[in-house]
Structure 1
């Protein structure tokens, strides 16, 4: 197998793994053992990949061998009882769910969501006018509302809505189960069959699973009642993934129980809400610590858009620096810092002379990959110009960094995963990031608090990370910009009127 730190009998490398930010230690080990190395959790091997070319070779070109998941007993089997596409092992059951999920994420469908994303971004900017200190919560409302509009055809007007409280509770609880070594059942799966009265931890997980499943089915019932109202009263209800799947179910057999069916539209929230809000928080940290990027963005927006209106998706091709800034935010501090949910191999394989046996866990260390100085010189320096060609960089008056080795991905970064397990909502998230940042940067100064020192490494723990809370100054660029925001907020409300809000 690929080399790695020497394991101890029975426990493997578990005692050498730090309790905090393991991706940093993995990055250090990649400097010692190479871009692909092995760590042992007990007697189970995990192969860690730290180079984008190696990740592309294994997880994309050989995706028929590397598209499964390691067995996750607590989260995948006890909590979700195999319903979630996130942790499903590669095979027919996963394929059914993935195809249904993709119904909402085709290029044609993504174009239909752009008016909603544009309107929500206008609402976000108007809210920032009135409540700038609460910017991080406003980001969460913005991304949650887009995802719920796409999933169920209902918007989120307030984070006090019960449906949002429930979603965050479910998401945080499931993440708490996915901690290596926390539950003995991962090492000894037979424990899942011990009666509940002897295993209170298992009863607790099951109870949370029942609550989540009931909430998912209630959301499907809500859309079902919307459809019934549309038939009897001629009501106009917007398109959504759940509506599309319910209509599809009437025409053809979908081999899923009501419970498992309800997990498909629900899965979009975990995939695209919290992660996109966290990326927007990273964008603000990058802007307050790298002022030249803010000035370059303002210059492009002033030249292309002017002060009479905010940017729209129609302007995207003429805003190369803003598009590059979105890519750089995703690269600079990847939210799914360890590549999201791990992959697992389904058959024996060989790479560069190394043996990778079947059922090996494979982690793409997004931190090490996105900050690999062979591909991104000065990797911790936030510089969107690295995603511009030389002529565009010169036009934007940006010095061109020394170029690194070419990245194998068209996007130029590895923040959405790889192969058949790539984040299904990647394009939806990228569109939400582009329109929000384009409008915010058109309208506002995003500045550091005078005399404040910012730690660009101060991030939360967990599989998905975001900056620890920090303060910054957000002020509208001029009264003319303010007037435009207030006017466009009214237009946004008209667009979103069809999407009934969830109540508090």
Structure 2
């Protein structure tokens, strides 16, 4: 009769064989020609141990300097990652050849959270991305952003006042300032303290989500089928994180939207990107894109989450 230890060993061996098979398939399917220089990969895990959990950009700039290369290549569990450390290389690959190289990473964790369709920074190039970019350009272009200068100035004065009272909390005051500006522009939502419910929900969501997107942060990024396992299965840490991340993402999106709709019903809402879209939708059911509300809400939450 098999006990818990035997079952656990079977699972470990099974996962090992799957990773080994993935390694073999990646080797067979590898493109001809060498990759750019990078740290020497280890068997099976590749460069998983060479990837820091913080200070990532600075670390790989130093690695690139040591290798005397503007490109640094990593292979983590068969997933290839390329760091670009020189502006001219970035311009050549991401601007001049953007149709080839400016795609977004399609990690299983990103899809599990839903960011592949709701976060403009991670939506892959295509019709959905163009739809988001069009509306973002309407409200966040160089000319339009000048209209938001009074909002920035008002919150800057508030930050300076808080800074005079407690200069030791400079970082916290800066975070409140950057969040308050974007929340005001997007929703007309007012934030004056660090523990504001919407701000707290955003911090909680990102603290859970960011580790899932880092190489080695979630086994589902190596073995995509794991994203379909229920979160309650023992050992499914990534699944639990995904479930919690989705909950807090709904919170951070729902709090400012509920506040905005309440103020619009009361007739006290000030101008904001989202309120402008909602009012146009309400005024015209013919000339307005029926999908505009979803898209503008995606842009709104990604804008204030991006400040972290």
TM-score by length of 2: 0.76
Shift of 1:204: 4.3
- CA 1:10–1:104 in structure 2 vs 1: closer, same or farther (change >3 Å)? same
Give the secondary-structure state (helix, strand or coil) at the position aligned to 2:139.
coil
The residue that corresponds to 2:291 in the other structure is 255
Shift of 1:6: 3.3
Deviating 4+ runs (over 4 angstroms): none
User: Is the aligned partner of 1:240 residue 2:272?
Assistant: yes
5+ residue gaps, structure 2, are 1-34
Cα-to-partner distance string for 1:334-378 (whole Å, 9 max, x where unaligned)? xxxxxxxxxxxxxxxxxxxxxxxxxxxxxxxxxxxxxxxxxxxxx
Cα-to-partner distance string for 1:265-323 (whole Å, 9 max, x where unaligned)? 11111223x4xxxxxxxxxxxxxxxxxxxxxxxxxxxxxxxxxxxxxxxxxxxxxxxxx
Shift of 1:60: 1.5
Give the secondary-structure state (helix, strand or coil) at the position aligned to 1:60.
helix
Number of residue pairs the alignment of both structures matches: 266
In the alignment, the residues of structure 2 paired with residue 204 and residue 14 of structure 1 have an alpha-carbon distance, to the nearest angstrom, of 20
The residue that corresponds to 2:144 in the other structure is 109
Contact 1:101 1:264 in 2 (8 A): yes
The residue that corresponds to 2:175 in the other structure is 140
In the alignment, the residues of structure 1 paired with residue 246 and residue 260 of structure 2 have an alpha-carbon distance, to the nearest angstrom, of 22
Shift of 1:12: 2.0
- CA 1:179–1:37 in structure 2 vs 1: closer, same or farther (change >3 Å)? closer
Question: What value does the CA root-mean-square deviation take over the aligned residues?
Answer: 2.5
The residue that corresponds to 1:420 in the other structure is none
Task: Pick 1 or 2: higher relative contact order, CA cutoff 8 A, min separation 6.
Answer: 1
TM-score by length of 1: 0.48
In the alignment, the residues of structure 1 paired with residue 194 and residue 220 of structure 2 have an alpha-carbon distance, to the nearest angstrom, of 35
User: Is the aligned partner of 1:213 residue 2:245?
Assistant: no
Aligned ranges 1:292-311 → 2 under 5 Å: none
Q: 2:96 aligns with which of 43, 46, 61?
A: 61
Cα-to-partner distance string for 1:102-130 (whole Å, 9 max, x where unaligned)? 33212332111111212222222223332
- CA 1:113–1:243 in structure 2 vs 1: closer, same or farther (change >3 Å)? same
In the alignment, the residues of structure 2 paired with residue 8 and residue 100 of structure 1 have an alpha-carbon distance, to the nearest angstrom, of 45
Aligned ranges 1:37-52 → 2 under 5 Å: 37-52=72-87
In the alignment, the residues of structure 1 paired with residue 289 and residue 57 of structure 2 have an alpha-carbon distance, to the nearest angstrom, of 44
Shift of 1:243: 0.9
Contact 2:198 2:251 in 1 (8 A): no
Shift of 1:149: 0.7
Shift of 1:142: 1.8
Shift of 1:25: 4.2
In the alignment, the residues of structure 1 paired with residue 171 and residue 142 of structure 2 have an alpha-carbon distance, to the nearest angstrom, of 29
Pick which of 248-257 and 149-158 moved more.
Answer: 248-257
Aligned ranges 1:470-481 → 2 under 5 Å: none
In the alignment, the residues of structure 2 paired with residue 28 and residue 93 of structure 1 have an alpha-carbon distance, to the nearest angstrom, of 37
The residue that corresponds to 2:195 in the other structure is 160
5+ residue gaps, structure 1, are 275-504
Q: 1:149 aligns with which of 174, 179, 184?
A: 184
- CA 1:131–1:14 in structure 2 vs 1: closer, same or farther (change >3 Å)? closer
In the alignment, the residues of structure 1 paired with residue 290 and residue 227 of structure 2 have an alpha-carbon distance, to the nearest angstrom, of 29
In the alignment, the residues of structure 1 paired with residue 45 and residue 261 of structure 2 have an alpha-carbon distance, to the nearest angstrom, of 51
